[in-house]
Amino acid sequence: MFYYVLKYVLLGPLLRLLFRPRIEGLEHVPESGAAIIAGNHLSFSDHFLMPAILRRRITFLAKAEYFTGPGIKGRLTAAFFRSAGQIPVDRSGKEAGQAAIREGLGVLSKGELLGIYPEGTRSHDGRLYKGKVGVAAMALKARVPVIPCAMIGTFEAQPPGQVVPSLRPVTIRFGKPLEFSRYSGMEDEKAVLRAVTDEIMYAILGLSGQEYVDKYAAVVKAEEAEKAKQAADGREGQKGPEGRKFPRMPLS
């Protein structure tokens, strides 16, 4: 019940007012039956903008950290995400991917819409990254269509680290459903899962117009963090014990 109060009375009208979302291709989202909506992930606001404009309820797989914060603030945040139709998924450990698939299949088995971001994390620079194969595994196991979706403008409205979004219009664009019945019975083959995932990501790319990076976003983030750390360590190594730089020694 609170999901619909949030959608139609509280959060939904506010988001429509702030972002003035332009909706394209909404007719591609089925009015009934199970389906996966797979989208790019540019902003924290994405979690709430798509549910606000869809006619049907949609359940997203969200990182468990949103549900495990300490204190009153943590409990309020967890309650809010649950009310907004989010399911916590632990992304750490070897079983993380299988846990997400089990949760997703549970949603689809009830004939509902499942929302997922195949990149596995928010883009830190606005580019589209390689998708993880969990979306393909769920689509093939549940035998449901995948509707590609592109969020456009949300990165500029609320980039990483910005708490309060800027007031600017965004576009939410849905593509034609993708169906993969030709791969029936092949859901455990790695090559098939990769091919299906790449097809989904290519469809999202066609809708979003982003620059594509054929690497996982989490890997690129880690690489950039390591480079920044090495650069900082290098700068520290050039300083004396009291923080002063050593003078250059003349060449003999």
pLDDT digits (tens, 9 = 90+) for 197-209: 999 999 999 999 9
Burial of 214 by CB count in 10 Å (0-12 exposed, 13-18 middle, 19+ buried)? exposed
Domains and CATH numbers, the chain: 2-215 (3.40.1130.10)
pLDDT band at 246, cuts 50/70/90?
very low
Across the strands, what pairs with 146?
36, 178
221 or 50: whose pLDDT is higher?
A: 221
pLDDT band at 169, cuts 50/70/90?
confident
38-47, 94-103, 174-183, 204-213: the lowest-pLDDT one: 94-103
**pLDDT value, residue 89:** 74
Question: Among 62, 50, 66, which residue's Cα sits nearest to residue 7?
Answer: 50
**Is pLDDT above 90 for 31?**
yes
**pLDDT value, residue 75:** 75
Token digits of residue 136? 């393909």
